[in-house]
Amino acid sequence: MTGSGRRAVEVIGAPIEVGTHEAGAIMGPAALRTAGLVRALADLGWPVTDRGDVSPDPAAPARGAVAVAAWALALREAVGAALGRGALPVVIGGDHSLSLGTVDAVLRHCVAGNRALFVLWLDAHADFNTPETSPSGNMHGMPLAALCGEPGFSDLFADDDRPTLAPGNVHLFGLRSIDAGERALVAARRIDVVDMRTIDEFGVVAPLRRILERVKAADGVLHVSLDVDFLDPSLAPGVGTTVPGGATFREAHLIMEMLHDSGIVAALDVVELNPFLDERGRSARLLVELVASLFGRAILERAPVLPDVGGA
């Protein structure tokens, strides 16, 4: 496969750990680069540019909601710029609070292009806590609630007229750990949940195909947010929030292969990699392999490749 006619890919590092109490996620982007992420995409024929790491306003505080807001703004600008250039952004982190900026950017781009945004949240957790429901207070467990307009996040966004993500367009996939308060919110907002019980019963193909068909029927685009803890910790121990019973090696690769075949992925987050907790780079190498599968690495050549999503 060659890069001819393919949409450009921009890798954006987000060395952020202000959303969690566990140190080490700040090293995630460097570990993914060391594991060969950029080279893997280039070897598949994608025109790829590494934009380096974003950084927040140096005047921002080191911790707290204002610090998270500074990171979100920096990432919103970087991802928005990539989308404006017609590129597909791959944001590597860094804790999951980074999605406050990445999803916000893609959502704004979709609104401008009159397209619907859907989010596939590959994660052991729902990340739908609010400051009121969160047992830990860690912001990396709250980004979806904030993006969907739940109250309690006035310090996170600079503008009052920002678009909010439709809860009905959020798909939690691989869920196996949820707090009581966010369970009630997820149910009340009618968020689609494919938990591990569902995957155990039906596999990943039928639930994911249903989601992809829904996005296509709406002429929508898909933002994929991949948390390391989606995977079983026996495969990927390099994360501070391990939960047993996660996705297997083949389940994870099959998901990525189906996403590639769908042609509707507009942006990708790879989050929560903590090299300090990893074992000789196992988690970073597996994540690089999964990203390569999403971008078309396969035993046999398959089509279509991920297309340009035009105005969105």
Quick check: 285 and 35 in contact, CB under 8 A?
yes
Do the domain assignments include residue 233? yes
User: Is the peptide bond between 94 and the residue preceding it cis, with omega within 30 degrees of 0?
Assistant: yes
Which domain CATH number covers 70?
A: 3.40.800.10
Residue 311 lies in a domain: no
The verdict on residue 251 lying in a domain is: yes
Note whether residue 44 is domain-resident: yes
Cα–Cα distance, 297 to 24 (Å, whole number): 29
Q: How high is the pLDDT of residue 93?
A: 96
- Sort 149 into a burial class: Cβ within 10 Å, 0-12 / 13-18 / 19+: middle
Nearest Cα to Cα of residue 225 among 136, 63, 95: 95
Those residues with Cβ within 8 angstroms of residue 198's Cβ, 6 or more apart along the chain or in another chain: 207
Does 312 map to a domain?
A: no
Q: Tell me the HSE value of 78 on the side-chain side, using a 13 A CA sphere.
A: 27
How many angstroms from the chain centroid is the CA of residue 181? Answer: 23
Beta carbons within 8 Å of 39's beta carbon, 6+ residues apart: none
Radius of gyration of the chain from Cα atoms?
Answer: 18
Contact indicator for 73, 158 with CB cutoff of 8 Å: yes
Contact 299, 254 (CB under 8 A): no
Query: Does 1 map to a domain?
Result: no
Active-site positions? 96, 123, 125, 127, 140, 227, 229, 272
Is 217 inside any structural domain?
yes
Which one, of 248, 273, 264, 134, lies nearest residue 211 by Cα? Answer: 264
Strand 117-122 relative to strand 170-175, pairing: parallel
- Tokens representing 121 are 């949240």
Judge contact between 115 and 34, C-beta under 8 A.
no
Closest CA to 131 of 67, 65, 195, 177: 65
141 found inside a domain: yes
Q: What is the pLDDT along the chain (312 residues), one digit of tens a residue?
A: 333 457 899 999 999 998 788 899 999 999 999 999 999 999 999 999 999 999 998 877 677 788 999 999 999 999 999 999 999 999 999 999 999 999 999 999 999 999 999 999 999 999 999 988 888 878 898 999 999 999 988 877 766 678 999 999 999 999 999 999 999 999 999 999 999 999 999 999 999 999 999 999 999 999 999 999 999 999 999 999 899 999 999 999 999 999 999 999 999 999 999 999 999 999 999 999 999 999 999 865 555 545 455 555
Distance CA 80, CA 73 (A): 10
Domain that holds residue 269: 9-294
- Give pLDDT, residue 303: 54
* 64-84 helix and 99-112 helix, angle to the nearest 10 degrees: 40
**Angle between helical axes of 282-294 and 249-262 (0-180°, round to 10):** 30
Number of domains the chain is built from: 1
